[in-house]
């Protein structure tokens, strides 16, 4: 009997979860393991998003099989809706009205958090550090701080669950240390398999009658993506904060009209900034606006209005906006 | 019999009856309009003696209120028409309550006093013990913006929708009110 007790004790001690520091992983290595776990595991749970002072609780599902993944969110509160991300396509079905919104995103971005694959490239702009251990939703986690080296971006902290390396909580802080937004799982289960949901949205058409094109090869994640269209924006950026680079440009209607809007996406790996340019109209108020962690700064240049928007501090969007110049006609 | 009743009423008003006796007396009075009237009178006398203020209440005061209540119409909530919506709601009702409670518990104890420079190492149960939920509602989480919130311009909302997927996890966001299909050209 004593032998059995000793065996059980040794077994319990041996299966004790080790922290990333104890296992010799650096913060960067832990983040990379987390990125891999996020893409390859099947997991589900209840997640609460706190944005703009509002709490939104949703069920979250991540299904993965043979390199293909699907994220699904089901809201628990009104308006009841189901959001599905297949690679770069995000589909949102409102249960009560059966209204459907389908978007093809310019880059693949998770509903939770995106981790760039080459973190060494970001060493000039961010420090990565394991700053502690905590229990979240009764699960042991390592706390990883993503600390910017300047004031052009926000601080992030990721609570990484130790057993499967999944992010269970992410908080975005402003420059003074106040919480801007966060998500947190209240329960999380890893499964062997999870079903892929197939919404038949293929017949959905837009106002001009164009059908959704078939999905081609999925675009690479944000850290790898280069500018992909031959069209160039009609503006130039004279100054950018360190680490930000052009990711994507497109010209397409995004309002409830056919008027095209230039959309240039910048990123420093963690923070994304969009620049929009269109013909000026009276609806837009120049200046600074904030929606939660997202700041935007709009200005008028000649007959064009430009808006810089991103989950970065106000000074960053203003800095980028101030550096925008329109191209000359012969450029 | 009546003397006993009178004495009981008097004791009742003086709070000298125990719970069971008081209940028994009230049941007895309920069946006797005269006794009810007597109780009202005794109560008025007692009130007047104690406060030197006398308010006359008609004996049928409570009866009239009772009748008024009975004449009030009953409001029935309209039934939901969409079957799927109803089913979805029923399926998630219990889950929503449980999840919301769990969310409040986790966020309250963990998200309130965090700062990037300082990470607390404490178990959930430890923090709950130190910070009762009653004293730390989730509204205490501070959200600081560098500018004041203003109503979202429709154009800004479109930009936000094109910028990232956060609008889908924000129940208050305004989506484009039509099925929208967009595609990006790729090389």
pLDDT above 60: residue A236: yes
CA distances from A211 to A182, A202, A327, B35, B55 (A): 36, 7, 34, 82, 78
CB B169 within 8 A of CB A56: yes
- Residue B103, pLDDT score: 59
pLDDT over 70 (residue A41): yes
Which of B96, B122, B172 is opposite residue A57, by nearest beta carbon?
A: B96
The residue that leads in pLDDT, A14 or A105, is A105
Mean pLDDT of A227-231: 49
Question: DSSP character for B39?
Answer: H
List B residues 83-112 in contact with A (Cβ-Cβ < 8 A). Answer: 84-85, 88-89, 92, 95-96, 99-100, 102-103, 106-107, 110-111
List B residues 50-89 in contact with A (Cβ-Cβ < 8 A).
Answer: 82, 84-85, 88-89
Give the rounded percent of residues in chain B with a pLDDT score beyond 70: 37
**Arithmetic mean of pLDDT over chain A:** 82
pLDDT tens digits, B151-179:
457 788 888 877 876 667 765 544 443 33
Q: Does domain A17-191 have CATH number 2.50.20.10?
A: yes
CB contact under 8 Å between B146 and A147, yes or no, is no
Residue A168 in contact with residue A136, Cβ under 8 Å? yes
Contact B159 A309 (CB under 8 A): yes
Residue B82 has pLDDT above 80, yes or no: no
A35-44, A305-314, B115-124 — which is least confidently predicted?
B115-124
Give the pLDDT confidence score for residue B15 in this predicted structure. Answer: 82
Q: Kindly state the average pLDDT of the residues B44-50.
A: 75
Q: Is the Cβ pair A296, B156 closer than 8 Å?
A: yes
Whether B164 and A206 lie within 8 Å, measured CB to CB: no
Query: Does residue A184 surpass a pLDDT of 80?
Result: yes
Q: Nearest to residue B169, comparing CAs of A86, A57, A181?
A: A57
Residue B97 to residue B110: CA distance in whole angstroms? 20
What pLDDT sits at residue B55? Answer: 59
Helix (H, G, I), strand (E, B) or coil at A35: helix
Is B143 in Cβ contact with A288 (below 8 Å)? no
Residue B66 CB partners (closer than 8 Å, separation 6+): none
So where are chain A's domains?
Answer: 17-191, 235-326
**Residue B72's pLDDT band (cuts 50, 70, 90):** low
Q: Which residues of A touch B107 (CB under 8 A)?
A: 48, 50, 55, 182, 184
**Confidence at A295, pLDDT banded by 50, 70, 90:** very high
pLDDT at residue number A13: 44
> What one-character DSSP code corresponds to residue A190?
E
Q: What average pLDDT does this structure show over A6-20?
A: 51
For residue A79, is the peptide bond before it cis, meaning its omega torsion is within 30 degrees of 0? yes
Identify the residue with better confidence: B106 or A183. Answer: A183
Which residues of chain A make contact with B158, given a CB cutoff of 8 A? Answer: 254-255
What's the mean pLDDT in A261-287?
A: 88
Residue A152's pLDDT band (cuts 50, 70, 90): very high
Q: How far is CA B36 from CA A229, A274, B4, B17, B25, in A?
A: 89, 77, 15, 17, 11
Complete edge-to-edge strand list for the sheet that includes strand A272-279: A245-253, A260-267, A272-279, A304-310, A294-301, A287-291
Chain A closest-CA separation from residue B75 CA (Å): 23
- Asked if B106's CB is within 8 angstroms of A184's CB, the reply is yes
> Please, are residues A136 and B105 in contact by the beta-carbon 8 Å criterion?
no
Mean pLDDT of B50-61: 64
pLDDT at A324 over 80: yes
Note whether A133 contacts B121, CB cutoff 8 Å.
yes
- pLDDT, average across residues B60-82: 59
Instruction: Find the mean pLDDT for residues B49-59.
Output: 64
pLDDT at B25: 86
d(CA B72, CA B78): 18
- CA distance linking residue A328 with residue A325, whole number of Å: 9
The CA distance from A203 to A209, in Å, is: 10
Given a cut of 50, whether residue B111 has pLDDT beyond it is no
Query: pTM above the 0.80 mark?
Result: no
* B20 shares contact with chain A (CB less than 8 Å): no
Query: Which CATH fold topology does A235-326 show?
Result: Phosphorylase Kinase; domain 1 (3.30.200)
Contact A186 B95 (CB under 8 A): no
Q: How far apart are CA B97 and CA B91, in angstroms?
A: 12
Residue B147 pLDDT greater than 50, yes or no = no
ipTM of the shown complex: 0.74
Helix B2-13, helix B19-30: angle, nearest 10: 120
- B123 pLDDT tier (thresholds 50, 70, 90): very low
Taking CB atoms and an 8 Å cutoff, what residues of chain B touch A75? 171
CB pairs under 8 A between A and B: 260
Contact of B175 with chain A, judged by CB distance below 8 Å, is answered with yes
Same CATH topology for A17-191 and A235-326? no
How far, in Å, CA of A74 to CA of A280, rounded? 38
Candidate ranges A151-165, A261-275, B72-86, B134-148; pick with highest mean pLDDT: A151-165
């Amino acid at each position: 009997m004593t032998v059995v007790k000793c065996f059980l004790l040794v077994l319990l001690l041996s299966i004790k979860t080790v922290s990333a520091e104890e296992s010799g992983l650096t913060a960067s290595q832990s983040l990379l393991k987390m990125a891999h776990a996020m893409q390859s595991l099947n997991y589900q749970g209840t997640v609460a998003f706190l944005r703009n002072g509002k709490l939104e609780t949703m069920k979250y599902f991540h299904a993965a099989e043979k390199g293909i993944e699907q994220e699904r969110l089901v809201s628990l509160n009104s308006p009841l809706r189901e959001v599905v991300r297949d690679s770069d396509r995000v589909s949102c079905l409102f249960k009560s009205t059966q209204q459907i919104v389908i978007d093809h995103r310019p880059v693949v971005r998770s509903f939770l958090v995106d981790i760039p694959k080459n973190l060494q490239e970001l060493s000039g702009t961010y420090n990565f550090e394991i700053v502690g251990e905590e229990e979240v939703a009764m699960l042991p986690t390592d706390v990883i701080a993503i600390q910017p080296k300047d004031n052009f971006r926000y601080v992030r902290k990721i609570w990484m669950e130790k057993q499967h390396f999944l992010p269970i909580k992410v908080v975005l802080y402003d420059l003074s240390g106040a919480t801007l937004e966060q998500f947190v799982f209240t329960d999380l289960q890893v499964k062997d398999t999870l079903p892929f949901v197939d919404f038949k949205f293929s017949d959905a058409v837009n106002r001009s009658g164009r059908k959704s094109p078939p999905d081609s090869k999925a675009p690479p994640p944000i850290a790898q993506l280069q500018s992909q269209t031959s069209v160039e924006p009609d503006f130039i950026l004279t100054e950018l904060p360190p680490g930000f680079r052009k990711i994507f440009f497109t010209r397409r209607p995004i309002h409830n009209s056919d008027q095209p809007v230039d959309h240039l996406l910048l990123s420093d790996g963690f923070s994304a900034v969009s620049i929009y340019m269109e013909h000026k109209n009276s609806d837009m108020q120049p200046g600074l606006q904030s929606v939660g962690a997202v700041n935007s700064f709009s200005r008028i240049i000649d007959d064009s209005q430009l808006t810089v928007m991103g989950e970065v501090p106000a000074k960053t969007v203003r800095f980028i906006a101030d550096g925008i110049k329109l191209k000359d006609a012969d450029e | 019999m009546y003397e006993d009743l009178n004495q009981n009423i008097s004791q009742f008003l003086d709070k000298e009856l125990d719970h069971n006796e008081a209940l028994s007396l009230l049941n007895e009075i309920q069946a006797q309009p005269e006794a009810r009237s007597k109780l009202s009178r005794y109560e008025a006398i007692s009130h007047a003696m104690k406060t030197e203020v006398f308010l006359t209440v008609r004996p049928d005061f409570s009866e009239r209120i009772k009748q008024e209540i009975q004449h009030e119409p009953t409001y029935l909530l309209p039934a939901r028409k969409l079957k799927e919506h109803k089913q979805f709601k029923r399926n998630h009702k219990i889950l929503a309550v449980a999840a919301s409670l769990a969310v409040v518990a986790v966020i309250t104890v963990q998200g309130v006093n965090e700062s990037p420079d300082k990470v607390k190492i404490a178990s959930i149960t430890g923090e709950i013990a130190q910070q009762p939920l009653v004293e730390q509602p989730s509204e205490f989480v501070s959200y600081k913006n560098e500018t004041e919130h203003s109503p979202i311009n429709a154009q800004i909302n479109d930009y936000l929708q094109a910028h990232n997927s956060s609008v889908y996890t924000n129940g208050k966001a305004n989506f484009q009110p039509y099925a929208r299909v967009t595609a990006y050209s790729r090389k």
